[in-house]
Structures are given as C-alpha cells and as structure tokens.
Amino acid sequence: MQQKIVIKVQLKCNKCRSKAMSIAAMASGVLSVQLEGDKRDQVVVIGDGVDAAGMTTLLRKKIGHASLEFVDDLKD
C-alpha cells in the first residue's frame, strides 16, 4: 500500500533543497518526491514501504532541523 509522508525541513538555500530531494529519493520504496508549502519547506514523499522515521533522522543529520508532519495511506 502506498503512503504519503510529509516532512518539514529547514531549507536555507537552493543547494539544501536539492540535497534534501536527493536524500529523500535515495530511500528504498520511494516513487516520487516533491517540495510543497508556502516557503517550499515541506518534502512530500510518496512510496511503498518507506521508513518515515528513518528518513526524517537522515534529513536531520545531513541538512538540519527536520520534523515529521504526518504519514497518510493513499488509496488507489
């Protein structure tokens, strides 16, 4: 079953945005990655069997402050 994961990340520059997108895309089971929000500070990941907590921890280590907003199951 696919799930939608939204992680709020403190992005300071375009390089940080690109780094966050590449980190999120490298996780296993990820189908798509997007930036959303008013300040484009939310990384939205759609995938199957993605470890949301692990991805949030990895973003914290590589980029800075990151918080898991919500995880929602998508219906086909």
- What average pLDDT does the segment 1-22 reach? 92
**Sign of torsion over alpha carbons 75, 70, 31, 57:** negative
Burial class (CB in 10 A: 0-12, 13-18, 19+), 58: middle
- What average pLDDT does the segment 17-30 reach? 93
pLDDT of residue 55: 95
Cα-based distances in Å from 44 to 19, 57: 14, 15
Burial class (CB in 10 A: 0-12, 13-18, 19+), 59: buried
- What average pLDDT does the segment 19-28 reach? 93
